[in-house]
Amino acid sequence: MHSLSLPARPGKWLLLSALAASLAGCGQKADPAAQTAMPPMPVSVINISARNIPVNFEYVGQAAGSREVEVRARVGGILLKRAYTEGRPVKQGDLLFQLDPATYQATLEQAAAALKVQEAQLASTRQDYERVMPLFKENAVSQKDRDDAVAAYQAAQAQVAASRAKLKEAQINLDYTRVTAPISGMTSQETRSEGSLVSTSADGSLLTKISQLDPIYVNFSMSDSDQMNLRKLQDKGLLKLKDNGHFEVALKLADGSLFDHSGFLNFTDSLVDSTTGTIRSRASLANPQGKILPGQFVRVILKGAERINAIAVPQRAVLTTQQGKMVWVVGEGNKVQPRPITVSQDVGLEVLVESGLKPGEQVVVDNIIKLRPGAEVKPQPYRADASAPAAKQPA
């Protein structure tokens, strides 16, 4: 788009006309009669028509693992070995770290021995119970003898159950000395080196982190005003999504290339962040080769929408002034007049016009700096392939 700097004063379009006239005559000192005799200036024009126009919406996003897990020690001890290569993928169940198992092995053996003692005690009390019960039925022993035998037997059963639980706990703690990957994904740097004392506290238990890269998540935010505008356009029937009613998500990388895989939106917050005035959203994309890494910044492109019966003009046809955007419109007698317009977003080399133009009008595309209000022109059909590409405005 071309830019003109105009003072913001009443009668802005009169000032614009005067400026355009001065630009047209810049560097020329011919007399008025000679200027009047000049032939109409050849200009390229487009005929304004309403059509359905595919539109994209672009935002800055940051990648994150679809699952991000902190790998922590569940028992304390000396870290004997790191069994994985930092920054490399691992599979669920792979050994990551080995803690010193000696103490836990000894505890397991003690628990196993205690269980054998309790099982022997249980066998003895069972025998007493089985001898007493028939005698009690024959009134050969007292009620107290019977009650004592029952109590001893039940207590022995409870002791065996407790010893088995202790043995199970000891086995679990021993197994915890082998720290394995809870998920498949990409590992990060170790936080404890071999030989370090690891504890189960919040500060001392973290060993590394694992991020699941396939699928990859991309978090981004859109302003609440953007969200409201999209809803208004949809409610008015001016914006239509694909048959499934959802956006398709593409990613643009830092070098300008597009990521191989497309994805979809899998989360949009129902709350507006009060500090930023934005709504958090998240996209999910397949990432089988792990090209997108957690923390990486990308451009999120929401595709699959169409503006219905929209009007667009080439960006090069639009002048930017302090009062806003304008174009030159060809009127009766092939004479041009400035027309203020309201634009919304760029679409390729065009820009969407929300107000100021209507179907059937002609807009000048080139030589717009040389024109003045009321100047006669010689319209010619605009050929897009013959024009230099317009510079893309930053999103």
| Least confident interval from 21-25, 159-163, 210-214 | 21-25
- Residue 21: pLDDT above 80? no
For residue 223, list its beta bridge partners.
Answer: 278
pLDDT at 300: 97
CB 48, CB 357: distance < 8 Å:
yes
Distance CA 43, CA 254 (A): 39
pLDDT at 37: 57
Show the tokens assigned to 351: 């820009």
Q: State the sign of the Cα–Cα–Cα–Cα dihedral 129, 135, 139, 142.
A: negative
- Residue 34: pLDDT above 60? no
Residues whose CB is less than 8 angstroms from the CB of residue 262 and which lie 6 or more positions away in sequence, other chains included: 248, 249, 250, 285, 303
Distance CA 263, CA 285 (A): 4
Domains along the chain with CATH numbers: 2-26+35-54+308-386 (2.40.420.20), 101-176 (1.10.287.470)
Nearest one of 250, 360, 309 to 53, comparing CA atoms:
309
Which residue has tokens 């628990």?
A: 111
Confidence bin at 45 (pLDDT 50/70/90):
very high
Confidence bin at 388 (pLDDT 50/70/90):
very low
CB 312, CB 346: distance < 8 Å:
no
Q: Is 238 left (phi over 0), alpha (psi -120 to 50) or beta?
A: alpha
Mean pLDDT of 183-187: 94
Q: Strands 41-47, 377-381: parallel, antiparallel or unpaired by DSSP?
A: parallel
Q: What is the pLDDT of residues 94-150, one digit of tens each?
A: 999 999 999 999 999 999 999 999 999 999 999 999 999 999 898 888 999 999 999
CB 182, CB 92: distance < 8 Å:
yes
| Least confident interval from 12-21, 56-65, 90-99 | 12-21
pLDDT at 25: 47
Q: What is the pLDDT of residues 213-244, one digit of tens each?
A: 999 999 999 999 988 988 999 899 999 988 77
pLDDT at 216: 97
Confidence bin at 33 (pLDDT 50/70/90):
very low
- Residue 275: pLDDT above 50? yes
Considering the chain, what is the average pLDDT of its residues? 88
pLDDT at 298: 97
Q: State the sign of the Cα–Cα–Cα–Cα dihedral 4, 7, 12, 14.
A: negative
Show the tokens assigned to 340: 């203020």
Q: What percent of the chain has pLDDT over 90?
A: 78
CB 224, CB 277: distance < 8 Å:
yes
Does 388 or 311 have the greater pLDDT score?
Answer: 311
pLDDT at 10: 43
pLDDT at 244: 75
- Residue 374: pLDDT above 90? yes
